[in-house]
Structure 1
Amino acid sequence: MTFSILSICTGNICRSPIAELLLAQSLAPFGDVRVASAGTGALVGSGVPEQAQRLAAVEGIDATAHQARQIDTAMIREADLIVTMARDHRRLVVESLPAAMRRAFTLRELARIADAIEPRVPQAVADAGASTPEEGMRAAVGLAAALRGTVEPPASPDEFDIVDPYRRSDETYARSFEELRPAAYRVAEFLTKAARAASV
Structure 2
Amino acid sequence: MTDAGAVLVVCTGNVCRSPYIERLLRASIGDLGVQVSSAGTMALVGEPMSEESSELLTQGGVDAEGFLARQLTPAMVEQADLVLTATREHRSEVVRTAPRGLRYVFALADFSDLVGAADVPSGVSGVAALVALASSRRGEVEARDVDDSGIDDPFRQGHEAYARMASQVEQVLPPVVAAFRQLSPTY
Work out which of the residue numbers 11, 23, 38 in structure 1 matches 2:13. 11
Query: Partner of 1:71 in structure 2?
Result: 72
Instruction: Give the Å deviation of 1:2.
Output: 4.3
Query: Partner of 2:39 in structure 1?
Result: 38
More helix, by proportion = 1
Work out which of the residue numbers 145, 153, 156 in structure 1 matches 2:143. 153
State the AA in 1 paired with 2:20: I
**2:157 is the alignment partner of 1:168:** yes
- How far apart, CA to CA, are the structure 1 residues paired with 2:89 and 2:13? 13
- How far apart, CA to CA, are the structure 2 residues paired with 1:195 and 1:27? 13
Unmatched 5+ residue regions in structure 2? Answer: none
- How far apart, CA to CA, are the structure 2 residues paired with 1:77 and 1:66? 22
Query: Partner of 2:177 in structure 1?
Result: 188
TM-score by length of 1: 0.86
Deviates more, 1:92-101 or 1:68-77: 92-101
- Contact kept, 8 Å, 2:116 with 2:176, in 1: the verdict is no
Instruction: Give the Å deviation of 1:44.
Output: 0.4
Tell me the alpha carbon deviations over residues 26-54 of structure 1, each in whole angstroms, 9 at most, x when there is no partner.
Answer: 11221x31110000000001111211111
Query: Partner of 2:51 in structure 1?
Result: 50
Instruction: Give the Å deviation of 1:165.
Output: 0.1
Taking only the aligned residue pairs, the percentage that are identical comes to 36
SS in 2 for 1:166: coil
Unmatched 5+ residue regions in structure 1? Answer: none
Work out which of the residue numbers 141, 157, 166 in structure 2 matches 1:177. 166
| CA RMSD after TM alignment | 1.7
4+ runs deviating over 3 angstroms = none
Deviates more, 1:58-67 or 1:32-41: 58-67
Deviates more, 1:156-165 or 1:144-153: 144-153
SS in 1 for 2:137: helix
Instruction: Give the Å deviation of 1:153.
Output: 1.7
**2:168 is the alignment partner of 1:141:** no
- How far apart, CA to CA, are the structure 2 residues paired with 1:195 and 1:70? 32
- How far apart, CA to CA, are the structure 1 residues paired with 2:24 and 2:184? 17
Query: Partner of 2:103 in structure 1?
Result: 102
